[in-house]
Amino acid sequence: MAYGAAKAGLKNMTRTLAHEWGPAIRVVALTVGMIVTDEAAAFYGDEDSKGRGGRQPASPSPR
């Protein structure tokens, strides 16, 4: 629970700073994505056939 709340807080803080500081300063946050392992592939199936584009985060500013 605490991990999820902390991750959401950092994501929202990054998005807010990007909106407030605008084009003058670039705000970047790095997060861990899914690591494809044999177990993950068995659980989620073939990721390439589903397309990973749906899981790509949207940038708050069009850069």
Residue 9: the pLDDT is: 92
Per-residue pLDDT tens for 6-59? 889 999 999 999 999 888 888 888 877 777 788 877 887 765 545 555 555 555
Residue 28: the pLDDT is: 87
Residue 13: the pLDDT is: 93
Say if residue 15 is exposed, middle or buried (CB neighbours under 10 Å; 0-12, 13-18, 19+). middle
The type of residue at 12 is: N
Residue 56: the pLDDT is: 52
Q: Using DSSP, state whether 43 is helix, strand or coil.
A: helix
